[in-house]
Structure 1
Amino acid sequence: MRCFFLIAIILFSGCKNDSADPIETVLASNNPKIKTVADAIENHEVQILFTEIIREKDSVYFKDYSFQVDDNSYFYPASTVKLPIAILALEKVKDNPLIDRNTLFNVEGDSTKTTISNAIKKIFAVSDNAAYNRLFEYLGKDYINNKLIDKGINCRISHRLSVDNSTDLKTKPLIFYAQNQVVFKTDAVINQPIKPLKLNEITKGKGYMVNDSLVNQPMDFSLKNYLPVTALHQIMKRLMFPELYPHNQQFHLTPIDRSFLINTMKILPHEAGYTTDDYYESYVKFLVFGDSKKPLPKHIKIYNKVGNAYGYLTDCAYIINEKTKQEFLITATIHVNKNQIFNDNNYEYDTVGFPFLAALGRQLIE
């Protein structure tokens, strides 16, 4: 019976839609925030996956649409890699009877004590890099990739973010505490060397900055993280709708941990203790609201993870409109680097990227 149900979902998702493709309709819009990109689409590496969630009685169906999605065309995923790391950290900690997600820990050599729960809150509230790096030390590169590959997710997460030792193969031990006593310590692990990616467009641009000097050659991304749009979308589907996937493709979280994670994914910065002066409500909500710093409407719930680096803006979001009872999944990426120089902090985020993703999201969920 379960096999028949899954087949029905796949067939429904693959059926030809008689109505217009919603992505194509949006990209044909005269909205200047969209038209600016659509008229020069070849310059922006746009990839979009859009899924309508259809509920009929006790069944859930996916109706999928895509635009220029190509797992072989590389884009830098930036902080979107924090989504699978948060999930895998919860999956791993549940199997250790000595600790849980609320057990205090520090990375060896780091005086900051935190918890896995707190790290995850920081990741989704403001996309905190240090929080991600601590969970990366807990998991390790090989563990991360083996787990994701085993679930049928095509990706390669190879490094920490924004630190000098980002590509160190050896993870540092984590020390866990209860009542000021050490209750558990992870081992340092030496991971396998990072293999260069062999993908299209793996070298990019015409130059990049190193300190204050310009290197006049394309930038090589072959050793960097790889998390394509398809993988992000599949991770979100598996998290939000685990019952639609075989057991070996699911993330195995406790119901309490899964509920904690999903609720944390929609957290706003001020709800996590950050000031609104520095972190406005849409700070990490690129789709729908990324072009505004106004308070978000209460009836739109966005569970998401964004990424922003090297001129790439990416958002993977599960969106619920509580007024219309509609649900959507959107994963979209855009590149805005007109001068084709990397690391010069001269990207068109505010003038092109954020306006495009916000308008795209609004029109897709209307």
Structure 2
Amino acid sequence: MKILFLLPILFFTTPNMNARKKTDAWLSELLHRNASGALLHILNNSDSFQYQLIYTQINRNKHNTPSFKHFYLHVDKTRYFNPASTVKMPVAFLALEKLNKMNKPGVNKCTPMLTDSAYSGQTTVLGDSSSENGLPSIAHYIKKIFLVSDNDAYNRLYEFIGQKTINERLWQMGYTDFRVTRRFVPATEEENRHTNPIRFINAAGETLYVQPAAYSNLEFDFSKRILVGRAHYNRADSLIHAPMDFTTHNNAPLEDLQQILQSVFFPASVPAHQRFDLTENDYRFLYEYMSKLPAESKCPQYDTTEFFDSYTKFFMFKSGKTPIPSNIKVFNKTGWSYGFLTDIAYIVDFKNKVECMLSGTIYVNRDGILNDDAYEYEELGYPFFKEVGNIIYKHELERKRMFVPDLKNFDIKELQTVRNEK
């Protein structure tokens, strides 16, 4: 892990730059005590690297009911980081929830879904060669989101749910600082408010349900200006000697992302209003594909030289394309963009009966220029996640538990057997 001297990075949010951070001395001491020199360099320069960490300790009682204790390091809802693909996680959950609420005969997550176009910037999708039947579906899009963080799959779910519904539902669940305003494709703010007409069809090509084009008239609070870096390249590939403006971009505080993940793996641990309306089959489907590796997928099938085991698994594994042992499963969603790396994970070791949650983000952009593709992901970002993850994992292996957790509900082999039986 190469140590690089970081130049001062301009990072502004207004107002309230000095909001109190959540930090637990115990977590800071644990990491500092076990850190390499390279990790210490990052830990001791929190202002430059903008990192935030949440370690969630899980303890079970004699009935296997879990309880949770969160430890924080520099967690601050007012400090912006670009969430990148982590917003795909709640959007995937909301897509399944919307299907359940629609309750249309013959329409489920595996029903072919065709996307048409009706506004500037929109594109159609009438087929998907990576699926078994050559047609796109909600289920297939969700698979691609969690297997390789596919951008187009996210865009199609964004269009299915609609910008207004995504945000109003998340706010209703208590995530009032969350903001999902855009697809992952060049588009204006107005184009992102318009979403495509959609059709669900049966195997014979007959239309089962039509969802018309929609428009979001939702009002967002953009009063807090968010500027990152000292310069950036714009869409015309011109260098602009000013910070990049993220004021209207997606926003997802780390605590909210952690709680959203926890609500899907442990629904009873959160208030009723924070639970997604999902079926037992939905949960099993999500558990399977949130932990499945690209090499384990047949439809879609991936080139594993590009999409290696740890392609979307940052904590413990990403650096050096480390193979993931079969006894460990990481149920997670990562994101990477503009020098920001983020991972929201539930980690399970079935052999050693260990489980915990880890959530983290870091900013690695030495030159302070955004959109130049010169970020220190490999040198600093991925090694940070790997080392932090392994320090926590080692602590979990050594930690005394009153009751050994029963983790069979998350065993992917059992999940596949149950799904095949159904």
TM-score of the pair, normalised by structure 1 = 0.91
Deviation at 1:247, TM superposition (A): 2.1
Report if the CA contact (8 A) 1:53-1:62 is conserved: yes
Q: Residue in 2 aligned with 1:138? A: 160
Separation in structure 1 between the aligned mates of residue 47 and residue 231 of structure 2, nearest angstrom: 19
Residue of 180, 185, 192 corresponding to 1:168? 192
Separation in structure 2 between the aligned mates of residue 278 and residue 60 of structure 1, nearest angstrom: 37
Q: Residue in 1 aligned with 2:313? A: 285
Q: Residue in 2 aligned with 1:157? A: 180
Matches within 5 A, 1:1-366: 21-58=26-63, 59-95=65-101, 96-98=103-105, 99-108=107-116, 109-112=124-127, 113-154=135-176, 155-164=178-187, 167-178=191-202, 179-192=204-217, 195=220, 197-199=222-224, 202-210=226-234, 211-272=236-297, 273-366=301-394
2:251 match: secondary structure: coil
Count of aligned positions: 348
Separation in structure 2 between the aligned mates of residue 266 and residue 67 of structure 1, nearest angstrom: 26
Moved more, 120-129 or 25-34: 25-34
Separation in structure 1 between the aligned mates of residue 126 and residue 109 of structure 2, nearest angstrom: 19
Report if the CA contact (8 A) 1:153-1:234 is conserved: no
Q: Deviations over 1:316-349 (max 9, x none)?
A: 0000122321211111000001111100001000
Tell me, which stretches of 5 or more residues in structure 2 are unaligned? 1-23, 117-123, 128-134, 395-422
Report if the CA contact (8 A) 2:88-2:154 is conserved: yes
Q: Deviations over 1:293-333 (max 9, x none)?
A: 13211111100000000000000000012232121111100
Q: Deviations over 1:152-187 (max 9, x none)?
A: 123111110133357521110111110211111112
Separation in structure 1 between the aligned mates of residue 243 and residue 228 of structure 2, nearest angstrom: 5
Separation in structure 2 between the aligned mates of residue 33 and residue 276 of structure 1, nearest angstrom: 29
Q: 1:34 to 1:107 in 2, by over 3 A?
A: same
Separation in structure 2 between the aligned mates of residue 343 and residue 37 of structure 1, nearest angstrom: 23
Q: 1:31 to 1:220 in 2, by over 3 A?
A: same
Separation in structure 2 between the aligned mates of residue 194 and residue 170 of structure 1, nearest angstrom: 14
Separation in structure 2 between the aligned mates of residue 150 and residue 57 of structure 1, nearest angstrom: 34
Q: Deviations over 1:124-161 (max 9, x none)?
A: 00000000000000001110111111111231111101
Separation in structure 1 between the aligned mates of residue 188 and residue 278 of structure 2, nearest angstrom: 30
Q: 1:221 to 1:255 in 2, by over 3 A?
A: same
TM-score of the pair, normalised by structure 2 = 0.79
2:194 match: secondary structure: coil
Q: Deviations over 1:15-42 (max 9, x none)?
A: xx9xx72343114434134123123222
**% same residue:** 35
Tell me, which stretches of 5 or more residues in structure 1 are unaligned? 1-16
Deviation at 1:196, TM superposition (A): 5.1
Q: 1:30 to 1:259 in 2, by over 3 A?
A: closer
Report if the CA contact (8 A) 2:164-2:218 is conserved: no
Compute the RMSD of aligned alpha carbons: 1.8
Moved more, 267-276 or 79-88: 267-276
AA in 2 matched with 1:128: D
